[in-house]
Amino acid sequence: MTKTVLVTGGTGYIAGELIRQLLARDWTVHTTVRNKARSEAKLRQRLSDPDETRVKVFEAELMSDDGWAEAIAGCSHVAHVASPIAASTPKDENEMIVPAREGTLRALRFAKEAGVKRFVQTSSMAAVAYGRNEKEYTVSEADWTDITHPDIYPYIKSKTIAERAARDWVTEHGGDMEFVSVNPSMVLGPVDDPDFSPSVEAVRQLLSGEVPMAPDLGFAIVDTRDTAELHVKCLEEPGLGGERFLAAGRFYKFIDVARMLKEGLPAKHTKKVPTKVMPNFLVHILSLFNEGVRSIKSELGKSRHCDVSHTKERLRWETRPAQESVIDCAKSLIEHGVVKV
């Protein structure tokens, strides 16, 4: 039986890898892009599969109904990966919150109207692990970010609001359509071209020397290939309605990632990689002049660990070592000329 899935945001970091894995498992894929004329040829080149019978590209945006009905027609499943993300903090938080929430609800409405059986939302650890005062703690799929906390910034709020809105909508309107969310942490791994995801900014900045010392910040690392694999499992495994799965590995500080780069790459590529931790007072000084730094200075010294035992046990999922993800990411950034070393 033919399996057909809509993957939204096909040019994205996770979505591109997900489409590649779905094709390998004999799915037919529909995907949305914001500008078909600009993106379709590039996407097919990335997939090394120009077959228009297996990959169909549609133009649709999060904030418009145009194109959604056509994109989703004939699909039994949806992987809603598209969501706004920015390398810098917007002046108005609604620039992120509104498209994240409204885009998800739009995709859900069209999915329900088209008779889709299962809807998988790419949420984020941002919806799980933030808005707490402790310096070190562990979260599971049962936890939710407190968006009323004063340290919450727009991206965190947007992902939390979007997932909660989706779950509320499915409870009220979803009927027998199953809903599952995947909540990745910091996604690293190889990039396909110079138009890379903001999620790999940390590796780029460490390699390029933009951060002469590593701030006392950190994140749990997960590989984009393993994140895509988890999405495939969530599309294929029976009986997952209402489930929530964390996609995360171990927690690492910036200085740990810097050490991985030093140990895993030739010395000629790591001359600019920092070897010392930046004192917190310097981060606070930088925050006076840099909005991006200002938004994350509350993160200093925090360690957020992720209990992914439910994901591992229910879906037999594992993530590869963080060192592999970091080094593969770095090598591809150098190969594509994103970082000059």
Q: Are strands 218-223 and 251-253 parallel, antiparallel or unpaired?
A: antiparallel
Check residue 153 and give its pLDDT. 87
Cα gap 184→228, rounded to integer Å:
10
Looking only at the bridges linking them, the beta strands covering 244-247 and 303-306 are: unpaired
Give the span between the Cα atoms of 78 and 117, in whole angstroms.
8
The predicted pLDDT at position 177 comes to 98
CB atoms within 10 A of CB 264: 16
Would you call 13 helix, strand, or coil by DSSP?
helix
Give residue 339's pLDDT.
Answer: 83
CATH of domain 3-335: 3.40.50.720
Query: How much is the pLDDT for 294?
Result: 64
What residues in the chain have per-residue pLDDT under 50? none
Give the amino acid at 172. E
Alpha-carbon gap, residue 246 to 161, rounded angstroms: 17
Amino acid 50: pLDDT: 63
pLDDT at 49: 62
pLDDT of residue 192: 87
Nearest to 56 by CA among 119, 5, 108: 5
Closest CA to 71 of 84, 82, 85: 82
pLDDT, residue 341, reads 72
- Dist CA 106 CA 65 (whole Å): 7
Report which of 278, 264, 287 is spatially closest to residue 207, judged by C-alpha positions.
Answer: 264
DSSP one-letter code for 288: T
Q: CA-CA distance, 58 to 70, in Å (whole number)? A: 8
Other CB atoms within 10 A of residue 121 CB? 28
pTM, rounded to two decimals? 0.94
Asked if 311 contacts 182 with a C-beta cutoff of 8 angstroms, the reply is: no
| Token couple for 213 | 């010392």
Looking only at the bridges linking them, the beta strands covering 77-80 and 55-59 are unpaired
